[in-house]
Amino acid sequence: MLERIKESFTESIQTKIDALEALPESIEKGAMAMVHCLLSGNKILCCGNGGSAGDAQHFSSELLNRFETERPSLPAIALTTDSSTLTSIANDYSFSEVFSKQVHALGQRGDILLAISTSGNSQNVIKAMEAAVNRDMTIVALTGNDGGAMAGLLSDNDVEIRVPSHSTPRIQEVHLLVLHSLCDVIDRTLFPQED
Ligand SMILES: O=C(CO)[C@@H](O)[C@H](O)[C@H](O)[C@H](O)COP(=O)(O)O
Ligand SMILES: [Zn+2]
């Protein structure tokens, strides 16, 4: 098993090296879209399934609370956390609508939807994106593989940050780095520090 463990580390490091080549421009574009959204008094809604639900919550908590430095709270909502809402929508309608109904209710023109999926094919995330388009929101999509159906739903104002990998855990590991990088650029742009 030691070899297997070392392989996981090597694969993860290599995926990050590949992402270093592929992603900085799209991360900067996504961060600037978020900065513009926050400066306009808008908010960020975040969604994803499984590990990506955890990522959505991780990111929203870093905006609502703090990242690395002291600064005011920033408005973000994870759509993955209210079990009464999630279970009733899934029970009465369909699991594919658990995020889209919340986007329809909470989303406003100028808000951002942070849509996270390693496959790009999760139906509930796709429907959330459709609801965001309907609400005149901008979409920042974190994907992997070939971007899946999510890639086809994006317009020029939206941003796709697609990790160059076909492995769900490796993609998730880079998604976390991307989210921290987004937080870092947002904080440094909104609250410049001398260092
Ligand atoms: O964390 C993992 C695998 O590393 C899983 O929980 C994974 O997130 C789930 O299978 C998700 O349902 C996958 O959804 P998606 O990334 O394709 O949208
Ligand atoms: Zn995982």
Q: Structural domains in the chain?
A: 30-190 (3.40.50.10490)
Distance 116 CA to ligand 1 centre (A): 10
User: Against a cut of 0.90, is the pTM above it?
Assistant: yes
Does residue 163 contact residue 11 with C-beta atoms inside 8 Å?
no
Mean pLDDT of 20-43: 98
Does residue 30 contact residue 63 with C-beta atoms inside 8 Å?
no
pLDDT at 193: 84
What CA–CA distances, in Å, run from 71 to 7, 32, 137, 188, 191? 39, 18, 25, 10, 7
Distance 155 CA to ligand 2 centre (A): 29
Determine if ligand 1 sits within 6 Å of the CB of residue 166.
no
What one-letter code names the amino acid at 25?
E
Atom 9 of ligand 1 has which residue's CA nearest to it?
50
Arithmetic mean of pLDDT over the chain = 98
- Reference 46, options 14, 77, 83, 4; nearest CA is 77
Determine if ligand 1 sits within 6 Å of the CB of residue 119.
yes
- Give the confidence band of 194 by pLDDT, cuts at 50, 70, 90: confident
Mean pLDDT of 75-101: 98
What one-letter code names the amino acid at 26?
S
For 37, list phi and psi in degrees, rounded to 5.
Answer: -60, -50
pLDDT, one tens digit per residue, over 134-159 is: 999 999 999 999 999 999 999 999 99
Distance 57 CA to ligand 1 centre (A): 15
pLDDT at 195: 64
Measured CA to CA, the distance from residue 128 to residue 134 in angstroms comes to 10
Determine if ligand 1 sits within 6 Å of the CB of residue 124.
no
Atom 7 of ligand 1 has which residue's CA nearest to it?
50
